[in-house]
Structures are given as C-alpha cells and as structure tokens.
C-alpha cells in the first residue's frame, strides 16, 4: 500500500473536474457552499478582495478556522500557504487539509524558490499564467494547475488571458518537431521531459482549473468554454448579495456551460455581484498575478 503517489495526488484533482471550489471564511459559509454543490472549499481568513483592501502581509489562515471548516463539511477542504513557505504548508498538512494552494494571493515568503511539493503526501495546486510557469510548478510536484487571473477584482479578463495563452502555447508545442522541442524547453525554462509529455498528450499532464476574477455564472461558463476543467470562485460568492443562490447558480452554470437558456435562468435576480476593479487601475505592485514565476 502506497500513499501520496503521483497517481493518488493527481487523481484527487481529477475527481474535482467539472466542479466549483469555493472560498469560505468560516464554518457557516462552508456549510452553505457544500449545500450549494461545491466540490471542495478553500478555508481562508479573508477572501482576496478583503486582502486587497486590508493591505499589509497576508499569511496562512488561523488553524482554528481551518479546523472549524474541516469539522463541518464532508467534501474536501483546501487551504493556502504562502509561495515558498514550507512550514505553513506542513502545518496545514498536519491539520488534515486535503489539498494545498501555494498561492500568490498571499504575500510570497520566498521570491525565488517555490516549495518542493514532492515532499508532501497531500497534493498541491499552483497558479500559472503561461505554460512555462505551469510546467515549472508541475516539475516541483504540483498535482493541479489553475490560472492566476487577478484575484479579488471580480474581473475575468486576466483569467481569460492566462487560459487562452496556456492553451495556445500547448497547441504550438503539440505541433513542434522533436528537435524543435529542445529549444522550446530552453525558451520556456522547463524540463524537456515534461514538455515532451505535453507534446504527446496535447494538454497539461494535470488538471487545469480557472481562478482569479470569476464573478458571475456566465464568467464560470466562459472559462469552461475556454477549456478549464473546473472553476475556483473566491470573493465572488460571499461578496454577493445572496451567496446561497449565487453559489448554486455558479455550480449549475459550470456543469451546463453550453446550455445558455439554463445560464439565463440561473442568472435571474441574483442581486448585485461584487463591484469589481478595472485591472488597468492597479499598479504593478498591486497585481497578485506577477508574484511567483
């Protein structure tokens, strides 16, 4: 019997496909998310839009919140550790968290090195905005990739850009000859073996979710249309007027992302979504997606 194998870790992400993973800040929100049909919850102290508003250093959540959430739901519980913060990740693993997010939403603890994720029994998800980042994270042991998007903005434009860019890069790699692949690996700064795998599979070797700026059911469906395997919704749900209804609507729109009548139906009378931020008004320092390469 073997635990923590690559197949067990990547397989866990496969089981989340077609689903919605929701940010929650306490037990009550976790129960709402589970009842709405979330496939997992991300236990946080603050959602990204509040992290933006608060400023300062954002760190791993208080273990009390994580434990509280683990206690009340039967679906998997995820939590975020800072980029490069091995100890935060080990602490969260010790609490029984099912999946770790080494996340640019928190203030990075290391500006050069990410966590060696092979040393963990639980799987990791990491953000990426291009194929090079995605493959470097997979090389470090990530079992799931998500777009970085621009968290806490309620603006889908960056997630769209990242998903489109990664997919266009994959299409290019698929068409390269084997000798061209060596040079492409050098340009992207990734291992030749991993790039060869992408060339052969025509996709990433792990699940790829959309994240960062999903604010409406139609946003979630758009990301599925662009090829996402599933969706993370951060600030969108519990910053909306009616979180319960909103969460159910996002779940349905993700499952039936080509059924536009259904999306119209679930989008009715949802109340105001989060207000959102025009990305162009953010300074480079305010852009979370620039963190971790």
Partner 1 sequence: MRIGVLALQGAVTEHIVSIEKTGAQGLPIKRVEQLEEVEGLIIPGGESTTIGKLMRKYGFIEAIREFAGQGKPIFGTCAGMIVLAKHIAGGEPGHLELMDITVARNAFGRQRESFECDLEVKGIAEPVRAVFIRAPLINEVGPDVDVLTIYKDEIVTARQGNLLVSSFHPELTDDYRLHQYFADMVEDSIAANQ
Give the pair of three-digit tokens for residue 207.
């699940």
Give the three-class secondary structure for 95: coil
Of residues 58 through 77, those in contact with partner 1 by CB under 8 A are 74-76
Task: Measure the CA–CA gap between 80 and 89, rounded to whole angstroms.
Answer: 8
Find, among 107, 102, 159, the residue nearest to 125 by Cα.
102
Q: Which of 9, 17, 31, 80 is catalytic?
A: 80
Residue whose CB is less far from partner 1, 99 or 209: 99
- Site track 4-23 with partner 1 (rule: CB under 8 A), x = hit: xx-xx--xx-xxxxxx----
How many of the other CB atoms lie within 10 Å of CB of 200? 11
Residue whose CB is less far from partner 1, 4 or 189: 4
- All residues at 6 or more sequence positions from 193 whose CB lies less than 8 Å from its CB, including other chains: none
Rule CB under 8 A: say whether 268 interacts with partner 1: no
Number of residues that bind partner 1 (CB under 8 A): 34
- All residues at 6 or more sequence positions from 108 whose CB lies less than 8 Å from its CB, including other chains: 82, 83, 84, 291, 292
Task: Measure the CA–CA gap between 48 and 39, rounded to whole angstroms.
Answer: 20
What residue numbers does the annotated binding site for D-ribose 5-phosphate cover? Answer: 23, 152, 213, 234-235
End-to-end C-alpha distance for the chain, whole angstroms: 36
What residue numbers does the annotated binding site cover? Answer: 23, 152, 164, 213, 234-235
Taking the complex as a whole, the smallest distance from the CB of residue 31 to partner 1 amounts, in Å, to 11
What residue numbers does the annotated binding site for D-glyceraldehyde 3-phosphate cover? Answer: 164
80 catalytic per annotation: yes
Residue whose CB is less far from partner 1, 13 or 58: 13
Taking the complex as a whole, the smallest distance from the CB of residue 14 to partner 1 amounts, in Å, to 5
Residue whose CB is less far from partner 1, 7 or 172: 7
Question: Within the chain, what is the greatest distance between any pair of CA atoms?
Answer: 55
Rule CB under 8 A: say whether 271 interacts with partner 1: no
Task: Measure the CA–CA gap between 148 and 26, rounded to whole angstroms.
Answer: 24
- Just list the catalytic residues: 80
- The footprint of partner 1 (CB under 8 A) covers 1-5, 7-8, 11-12, 14-19, 34, 37-40, 74-76, 93, 96, 98-99, 121-123, 251-252, 255-256
């Amino acid at each position: 019997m073997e635990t923590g194998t690559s197949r067990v870790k990547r397989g866990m992400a496969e089981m989340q496909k077609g689903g919605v993973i929701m940010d929650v800040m306490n037990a009550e929100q976790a129960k709402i998310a589970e009842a709405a049909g979330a496939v997992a919850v991300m236990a946080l102290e603050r959602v990204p839009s509040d992290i933006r508003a608060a400023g300062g250093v954002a760190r791993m959540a208080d273990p009390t919140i994580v434990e509280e959430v683990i206690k009340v739901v039967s679906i998997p519980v995820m939590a975020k550790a800072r980029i490069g913060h091995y100890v935060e990740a080990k602490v969260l693993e010790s609490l029984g968290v099912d999946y770790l997010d080494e996340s640019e939403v928190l203030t990075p603890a290391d500006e050069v090195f990410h966590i060696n994720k092979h040393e963990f029994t639980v799987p990791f998800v990491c953000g990426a905005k291009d194929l090079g980042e995605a493959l470097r994270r997979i090389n470090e042991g990530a079992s799931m990739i998500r777009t970085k998007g621009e968290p806490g903005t309620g603006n889908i434009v960056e997630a769209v850009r990242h998903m489109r860019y990664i997919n266009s890069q994959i299409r290019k790699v698929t068409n390269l000859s084997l000798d061209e692949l060596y040079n492409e690996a050098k340009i992207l700064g990734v291992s030749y073996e991993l790039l060869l795998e992408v060339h052969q599979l025509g996709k990433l070797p792990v699940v790829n979710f959309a994240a960062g700026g999903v604010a409406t059911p139609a946003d979630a469906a758009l990301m599925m249309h662009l090829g996402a395997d599933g969706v993370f919704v951060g600030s969108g749900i519990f910053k909306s007027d009616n979180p319960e209804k909103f969460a159910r609507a996002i779940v349905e729109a993700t499952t039936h992302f080509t059924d536009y009548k259904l999306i119209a139906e679930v989008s009715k009378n949802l109340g105001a979504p989060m207000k959102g931020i025009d990305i162009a008004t953010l300074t480079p320092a305010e852009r979370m997606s620039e963190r971790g390469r």
